[in-house]
Structure 1
Amino acid sequence: MSSPPPANAPSKGDRTRRRLLDAAAAEIARRGPDGTSLAAVARRAELKAGSVYFHFDSRDHLIEAVLEEGVRESLRILDDAVSALAAPSAAPERLRAAVRAHLRAIEELSDYAMVVLAPPFHTAGDRMPVYRDALRTYLARWTELISDAQDAGVLPGGTDPRSLRDLVLGGLNASGLAGRPVADTARAMESLLGLDDG
């Protein structure tokens, strides 16, 4: 007699939805949103086309779910990295952990990262409110980390923390998507921000 699955184990429907999201992220990353069809997503997920419509009302709904998942998982990685620090941790330690977490998210979520960072979605917030809200939360977390580092005197205080955030994330995104080694990029950014131990 087999034992029942753990209470928090994903259901079959959850696993199928995840397969579809992963397949859609891979398709969109390679073909762009306009070149991605639901039939191709179903093929990549090794499912029947009807499975897509069972979980997602439309292609736009599926694309928004991919965007939301990419940002949500990036936020989870960021929050896990910062919360794993010994409390209370100084602003430079939190920012250093955030830099490494962002690069790890780009590496681990490569297809999702390529989709989230693709130019067609930079202004998608108006028609994709769930994605917009997830992205706002992620950016707000980064703004707080930058602002704390400014208050601690680690980063210059005369600049809008959102501008510094965008510069930091832009540099990390460019290096991460270019396939540069995570450790090398992290050390370079930490040095640039004055966070290196040396």
Structure 2
Amino acid sequence: MPGTGGSRMKARNGRRPGGAGSVETARPKPMRTEILDAAAELIVREGYDACTMRAVAAMVDMKAGSLYYHFKSKDEIVEEILNQGIETLYARVAGTIRDLPKETPFARRLSAAVEVHIASLVGKDQKYMHVYEHLPLVIKRRSRKMREKYAQLWHDLFAGGVASGEAAAGHDLRLLVPYFLGGLNRVPEWSRASGASSEKIAELAVVTLLDGIGARQ
């Protein structure tokens, strides 16, 4: 595979795997994954414009021309990062909801989903998630199919609350879901400066949605 030079296959002690005195090491990442990781790191660290094909190739120790063997363009790389990020987010939120006991109240189910969503966006190890906040709006609008699938997960969550009588009926979920998710997706822009935990932000989001902020009479 292009770009997989000897430096990638060396063990951490400088010896190649399988040789005398060698130590067992983890298998290297597939080249496509290395490229995606490098591009995501570059976007988060230096911005979308800095993520050129040449810059990404340099980060993975590959000739710029060889990068086109794996991806046709920078846009294709970014779209793959977005898709994988959303797929991971979907799996985590869906898994969290699925693992809750069936009798779990709607407010708790919503809070758990919000907490996982926020934690995935701001967690230090979620590199692909961090990319989203650094992209131009026109780029964010791509990966529509995966975004619609993720939105449907939240639509079903809210619909379940309405069906159980725990959430008020009459609201158009086609408007409520993107409104709610849009607010959650902006959390990384201010949460780090505030120092608030994912749990605290999730609690605030759920309380303000379900109870409102108006003073009780």
TM class, shorter-chain normalised?
0.7 to 0.9
What is the match of residue 199 of structure 2?
183
What is the match of residue 36 of structure 1?
51
Question: Is 1:123 matched with 2:137?
Answer: no
Unaligned runs of 5+ in 1: 3-9, 125-130
Deviation of 1:17 (Å): 2.2
Deviation of 1:12 (Å): 4.3
Question: Is 1:49 matched with 2:67?
Answer: no
On the 8 A contact 1:91/1:149 being kept in 2, the answer is: yes
What is the match of residue 72 of structure 1?
87
The structure carrying a bigger helix percent of its residues is 1
Which structure would you say has the larger Rg? 2
On the 8 A contact 1:67/1:116 being kept in 2, the answer is: yes
- Residues 84 and 185 (structure 1 numbering): CA distance in 2 closer, same or farther, change over 3 Å? same
Pick one of 161, 172, 191 that aligns with 2:173.
Answer: 161
Q: Deviations over 1:101-158 (max 9, x none)?
A: 111210236543343354232433xxxxxx2221111111111112222233333322
Q: What CA distance in whole angstroms lies between the structure 2 residues aligned with 1:170 and 1:132?
A: 14
Q: What CA distance in whole angstroms lies between the structure 2 residues aligned with 1:61 and 1:158?
A: 41
- Residues 13 and 55 (structure 1 numbering): CA distance in 2 closer, same or farther, change over 3 Å? farther
Q: Percent identity?
A: 26
Normalised by the length of structure 1, the TM-score is 0.76
Once the two structures are overlaid, the 10-residue window that deviates more, 97-106 or 115-124, is: 115-124
Unaligned runs of 5+ in 2: 1-17, 19-25, 212-217
On the 8 A contact 1:95/1:145 being kept in 2, the answer is: yes
How many residues align? The count is 180
Q: What CA distance in whole angstroms lies between the structure 1 residues aligned with 2:95 and 2:112?
A: 10
Report the secondary structure of 1:54's partner residue: coil
Question: Is 1:91 matched with 2:91?
Answer: no
On the 8 A contact 1:146/1:164 being kept in 2, the answer is: no
Report the secondary structure of 1:164's partner residue: helix
Q: What CA distance in whole angstroms lies between the structure 2 residues aligned with 1:49 and 1:82?
A: 44
Pick one of 182, 190, 193 that aligns with 1:170.
Answer: 182
Q: What CA distance in whole angstroms lies between the structure 2 residues aligned with 1:61 and 1:70?
A: 14
Deviation of 1:53 (Å): 2.6
Q: What CA distance in whole angstroms lies between the structure 2 residues aligned with 1:43 and 1:154?
A: 54
Q: What CA distance in whole angstroms lies between the structure 2 residues aligned with 1:21 and 1:88?
A: 40
Q: Deviations over 1:86-109 (max 9, x none)?
A: 235443332222111111210236
Deviation of 1:192 (Å): 1.4
C-alpha RMSD of the superposition: 2.8
Q: What CA distance in whole angstroms lies between the structure 2 residues aligned with 1:78 and 1:138?
A: 9
Q: What CA distance in whole angstroms lies between the structure 1 residues aligned with 2:102 and 2:61?
A: 46
What is the match of residue 140 of structure 1?
152
